[in-house]
Chains A and B, each alone.
Chain A
Amino acid sequence: MSGPACHVPEPPPAVHKSTPAWRLLLTLVVAGAAAGWLIVSVYNATLPAVERHAAEQVNEAVRQVLKAPARWDTLYLVDGALTSKRPASVNAETPMAFVGYDAGGRRIGAAITAAEPGFQELVTLMIGFDPATGALTGYDVLDQQETPGLGDRIESDTDFTRQFPGRVAPLVGVKRAPATPNEVQTITGATISSRAVVRIINDAVARWRPLLQAYDRGGQE
């Protein structure tokens, strides 16, 4: 730092009169109330944009994993069964399936979200598959905190992601070139993250396929 202290004129003896407690309290109450009011107003002002971004992200993912469907229906999981009727209390936590159709009205598949631990944190995927055959149409990473440059390649490595369309769940992650329709080649340096993707897809298809098939049998209501 600045070597020998340069001499500043001696400060006047500090007048330390303690502030009365009510004044301290008042300061903090007023400051806290002002801060709270500011935060609430900005929260309310930004909420529509935040919700719009979240919805856009989901729509974008549905479009991607179902290969650009012409339209899609949203199904809600209520009391262990799927229904196309929107429940009264629907929020971001309500499990939903998006069933996409092509321009000719044929079903392309269903897209669902699923989250399970990856190498670091929860990995959230949007998974598209055909409920009739269990064949995948693709997946998209909605959220992940995997190691940059290694585990995050489950999102960016196209050699890995393009294997999935056409593969049939349950999948097996292998280190060599895949030989059967069940196998996908894991990423070198990201084996755990790749296997997490495989596991999330397997668990999600195992959970949702029977639900979607039951919904099909129950007619289009």
Chain B
Amino acid sequence: MTSVPVAEAAPAPGAQEFIPGAPPPASAIADIWRGIGRENPVLVQLLGMCPTMAVTNVLANGLAMGLATTFVLVGSGLFVSLFRKYIANEVRITSYILIIATFVTLADMLLAATFPDIRKALGPFIPLIVANCLLLGRAEAFAAKVPVKRAVADGLGMGLGFTLSLSMLSTIREVLGKGSILGHPLFGPRFEPWVFMMLPPGGFLALGIALLGVAYVGELRKRRARRAPVAGRVAA
């Protein structure tokens, strides 16, 4: 948000500046873990579904997309947080998108210079990271309201959570759909690959099963928590 001139807001000396919607205080380590687990961008928040469906056909692609997104999340989180006091409220979304787009372009060019084959395989999906809700979402909801250290930790956590989810989905799809992992054949020449898993419906199926698993575990936990204090909430 905008910097509120001290004279007008007049906070008590030493008190924290009040920022509407600021996330509750937490350590940087907790911020990282939150993105990987409890607030996993793909499996819990259901953000970034477009790349999740599109590039998780083989592990190399899923991994590369995850790492490129992590790079953009950390970079944009850093700059959004660093300049949060200077970015006027009226132009904040424009500024965030500018920062995100810059890092996406950098990621694209660095990938082209280092792993041209992976960039070729990912096609337009690297430039499309700019349209991933996860990026703007984290900039607006988190990075713009916290100090740099937490913003970077959050970007790292969300990025790793994204990378792990994509890697998991693409491992399932590559093993079933191609019979290989990172391009290394697993089953020998007699294996008939289940091509369905390489195509978009296979992505939906794999994601659906993963979400089912996450929901099931959540439900189990809830039940266990309910059983512990015996009476009380049973009637409700």
Interface residues of A (CB under 8 A from B): 11-12, 14-15, 17-19, 23-24, 27-28, 31-32, 35, 38-39, 42-43, 46, 49-50, 53-54, 57, 143, 145, 147-150, 189
Contacts and interface: CB of A to CB of B under 8 A. Distances in A.
27 contacts: A11-B20, A18-B90, A19-B2, A19-B88, A23-B88, A27-B86, A27-B87, A27-B88, A28-B91, A28-B94, A35-B99, A38-B102, A38-B106, A39-B105, A39-B109, A46-B109, A49-B113, A49-B114, A50-B109, A50-B116, A143-B120, A145-B123, A148-B57, A149-B177, A149-B199, A150-B195, A189-B195
Given A38-B106, A149-B178, A150-B195, A11 B18 contact: yes
Given A28-B95, A46-B113, A14 B123 contact: no
Contacts of B58: 148
Interface string B73-113: 00000000001001111110011001101100110011011
B230 to A, nearest CB: 22
Contacts of A14: 20
B193 interface: yes
Given A32-B98, A39-B102, 4 more contacts: A19-B2, A27-B88, A35-B98, A53-B112
B109 A43 contact: yes
Is chain A's binding surface mostly helix, strand, loop or mixed?
Answer: helix
Nearest to A150: B195
B4 interface: yes
A43 B4 CA distance: 38
Contact of A24 (B90, B98, B116, B177): B90
Interface of B: 2, 4, 8-9, 18, 20, 57-58, 83, 86-91, 94-95, 98-99, 101-102, 105-106, 109-110, 112-114, 116, 120, 123, 177-178, 193, 195, 198-199
A27 B2 contact: no
A49 to B, nearest CB: 4
Nearest 7 Cβ contacts at the A-B interface: A46-B113, A149-B198, A49-B113, A149-B195, A19-B88, A35-B102, A53-B116
Contacts of A57: 116
A147 B198 CA distance: 9
A27 B95 contact: yes
Given A27-B95, A149-B198, A46 B88 contact: no
